[in-house]
Structure 1
Amino acid sequence: MDLSGSRDVISSLPDDISSHILSFLPTKEAASTSVLSKKWRYLFAFVPNLDLDDSVYLNPENETEISTSFMDFVDRVLALQGNSPLHKFSLKIGDGIDPVRIIPWINNVLERGVSDLDLHLNLESEFLLPSQVYLCKTLVWLKLRFGLYPTIDVEDVHLPKLKTLYIEATHFEEHGVGLTKLLSGCPMLEDLVLDDISWFIWDFASVSVPTLKRLRFSWQERDEFPKSVLLDTPNLVYLKFTDTVAGKYPKVNLDSLVEAHRSSLVEASIDKLPSRLWGK
């Protein structure tokens, strides 16, 4: 078999096709091609998807050294790509990563027009997302997963293109007011997942989103009741409810609901669920 001929075929591919092929490789492997030649360094700069996971580097015997190596790797990847447009950015990290290093990474991809942002930050230290996350005009898909329930503190929210929002394991500053602020800045939102957001301590929770089509909220480890839940979602077609039952539901607008799944953690209070949630 003539392997040299195969190499020539790959080298002769148009740049946009070669860059597209690189986008399917794990970022660590895709980045390694940049050392092959100036051409591959150029092609990697235009890879539209980055998937960065520090578990690829895990070695319990050299945890500090490995964490530093990963942080330096992310810096090099972002430097190689410069200001090229970015479609998807996924970052999964555990404790040991310096939070001060994380914020410039996030700001970098936001400035490059990222539309799909997935942040899984399993940090033991307090960490606040940069405010630019809530003011990004290009985000269409946003997934935020945390480790030790950090606080989401939102002041101004303007996410005009956001259609999917997934939030897991966090607190909201001002409790229900914080969630209301966040949702009010998402005029195109269609999918919402609220998973383990500690809403049982809130005075109220309000999900009022006219464009919303799918909603899932759950909390698995508490038996306290959230006090009041308002659902004003006239175009919702799918609902999954896995939680304790609220003390009251002052408004439930589910006029378009087609499919509902519910599982109460407090069976004695199941009769408090509105009929539209319980399927009656």
Structure 2
Amino acid sequence: MDICCKDIISDHSKKDIISDLPEALICHILSFLPIEDSALTSVLSKKWQHLFAFRPNLEFDDAVVYLNPDGERNETIFENFVDRVLSLQGDYPINKFSLTCRDFTDPTCVSRWISNVMERGVSDLDLRCIVYWDNGTMPPDIFVSKALVHLRIETGNGAFIDVEDVFLPNLKTLYLNKVLLRHSDNGFVKLITSCHVLEDLFIMNICWDGYLKRSLSSKTLKRLTFFCEDVHAVNPESVSFDTPNLVYFVYHDCVADKYKNMNFDSLVYASICLQMTSHQRTHASYEHLVGNATDFLLGISNVQILELFANTIEVCIVIPSSSFLATLKQKEDKQVSVTCLAGWESLPVLLKNCPDLESLIFDGLHHNDTIKCEDVDGCLCKSSRGIPSCLSSSPVQFLTIWKFGEICDDYDDMEKQIELVMYFLETMPNLEEMKLFYDTQIYEDVISKLQMLVTSSKCTVYIIPEV
């Protein structure tokens, strides 16, 4: 019995188990390796010669060094390698095609590769191409596909894409960065309305005809990230959002002249950064805000978790109160919270107009001078004149401070932050818990002072080092 087992084991060890696997499974295994590494298996045997190319996911990056025999970089080697892989595949089905290339890659080759995988029904297309396209235009058929489910385009140099013809009936994820949409009317509206099942949209630094009248309407959209914040540009004339099923919203923009048709019925999380353009700021004063985002915030009245950058509150004459947060108060399993990013100078106006606010988070305690500082009760930098009413009647029960001491030019700045923490503890009557995350590089005596807050305060204070 023992001899037989040894013979079986011996015979088994001589076999190439992996080579005996079905070719489809081998290709699947190879797809977990960088394609340049999987190509090395072509020298193993005739069976392996072309298997590396028949993988469902292709990812090419010309950052991988392709060298001549003399050791110099040769982009032609990269182009020939991609051509060879696509040629070997023929009509073989493809799921994902990812291409990252720089300005030294021939745009003619890039266009040919895109057309190849589009014709073969690629479902996930990821293009990060900083190349100089012919006439500055990417292939227009990139927006015409029944098979595409995920599409990412990042050009780095603002390439044009014609959107006269758009057909993306199954697209669920769209990522656009530094893309110019060219259309006789409104290319952005044409694109979005042609994506009938779109759920996730990320747009940054894009432009289109009608750019100053920004309008987005989608009944299927669930996640939206929107970055259009050039303070030196012209601010938008109007902004409209009709996204009743949106649950996640990150929005950075300049303040529009008008906000209308704000429909956010399902919103759970929102991070809002609105700021004035340089022209608006020049003509602004505390009494007269050239930019007014109040109507916009009124439109997100049922949000559960809200991040407000300080410059957002700066451009709001009134922050929603009766409708804002009040409806969520009835939902016992959901805690309403607001995060103030990039400073605490916006706190007075926030507390005055949010009587139901329970949780407040600061992303640092550094101070930014704004037009609010001109008013006695408009900023806590005027606290020496007496306790602001916003603090003495504050409803906040839970206060979290991140990055304590991270931005301090000198020891005096650190002392000011400590004083502010003590000021919160002494004057906010409903405060039950404070969590303070501090920079581990700050002075030891500062840490000692922070530890003293634990014993001197009536509320529970946690002093936690940031890792």
Please name the residue that 1:158 is paired with: 167
- Root-mean-square deviation (Å): 2.7
Please name the residue that 1:217 is paired with: 226
Does the 8 A contact of 2:249 with 2:270 survive in 1? yes
Please name the residue that 2:158 is paired with: 149
Percent of counterpart pairs with the same letter?
44
Does the 8 A contact of 2:217 with 2:242 survive in 1? yes
Does the 8 A contact of 2:155 with 2:178 survive in 1? yes
Q: For structure 1, which segment, 65-74 or 214-223, has the greater mean C-alpha deviation from structure 2 after superposition? A: 214-223
1-structure distance, mates of 2:206, 2:300: 20
Q: For structure 1, which segment, 220-229 or 106-115, has the greater mean C-alpha deviation from structure 2 after superposition? A: 220-229
Please name the residue that 1:237 is paired with: 247
1-structure distance, mates of 2:15, 2:74: 33
Task: Give how far 1:31 is off.
Answer: 2.4
2-structure distance, mates of 1:270, 1:135: 39
2-structure distance, mates of 1:111, 1:45: 18
Scaled by the length of structure 2, the TM-score of the pair is 0.55
Q: 2:213 aligns with which of 204, 208, 214?
A: 204
Unaligned stretches of 5+ in structure 2? 1-9, 282-288, 304-323, 325-467
Task: Give how far 1:169 is off.
Answer: 1.0
Unaligned stretches of 5+ in structure 1? none
Q: Which has the higher contact order (CA 8 A, sep 6+)?
A: 1
Please name the residue that 1:178 is paired with: 187
- Which structure carries more helix by proportion? 1
Please name the residue that 1:228 is paired with: 238
Task: Give how far 1:9 is off.
Answer: 2.0
Number of residue pairs aligned between Structure 1 and Structure 2:
276
2-structure distance, mates of 1:63, 1:194: 40
Deviations 1:46-72 (A, max 9, x none): 20001100010267xx99952111111
Is 2:78 the counterpart of 1:36? no
Please name the residue that 2:272 is paired with: 262
1-structure distance, mates of 2:89, 2:194: 30
Please name the residue that 1:80 is paired with: 88
Please name the residue that 2:21 is paired with: 13
Q: For structure 1, which segment, 29-38 or 133-142, has the greater mean C-alpha deviation from structure 2 after superposition? A: 29-38
Scaled by the length of structure 1, the TM-score of the pair is 0.89
Please name the residue that 2:258 is paired with: 248
Secondary structure at the aligned position of 1:57 is classed as coil
1-structure distance, mates of 2:271, 2:66: 38
Task: Give how far 1:101 is off.
Answer: 1.2
Secondary structure at the aligned position of 2:51 is classed as helix
Q: For structure 1, which segment, 213-222 or 111-120, has the greater mean C-alpha deviation from structure 2 after superposition? A: 213-222
2-structure distance, mates of 1:261, 1:178: 26
Please name the residue that 1:71 is paired with: 79
Task: Give how far 1:203 is off.
Answer: 3.0
1-structure distance, mates of 2:142, 2:251: 27
Q: 1:164 to 1:6 in 2, by over 3 A?
A: farther
Is 2:116 the counterpart of 1:94? no
Q: 1:272 to 1:63 in 2, by over 3 A?
A: farther
Q: 1:256 to 1:40 in 2, by over 3 A?
A: same
Task: Give how far 1:221 is off.
Answer: 4.0
Task: Give how far 1:233 is off.
Answer: 0.9
2-structure distance, mates of 1:63, 1:121: 25
Deviations 1:157-179 (A, max 9, x none): 11111000000012222497011
Task: Give how far 1:105 is off.
Answer: 0.3
Q: What amino acid maps onto 1:88 in structure 2?
A: K
Secondary structure at the aligned position of 1:89 is classed as strand
Q: For structure 1, which segment, 100-109 or 25-34, has the greater mean C-alpha deviation from structure 2 after superposition? A: 25-34
2-structure distance, mates of 1:112, 1:75: 15
Secondary structure at the aligned position of 2:202 is classed as strand
Task: Give how far 1:6 is off.
Answer: 8.1
Task: Give how far 1:133 is off.
Answer: 1.4
2-structure distance, mates of 1:191, 1:18: 33
Q: What amino acid maps onto 1:245 in structure 2?
A: V
Q: For structure 1, which segment, 64-73 or 184-193, has the greater mean C-alpha deviation from structure 2 after superposition? A: 64-73
Please name the residue that 1:120 is paired with: 128
Q: What amino acid maps onto 1:156 in structure 2?
A: D
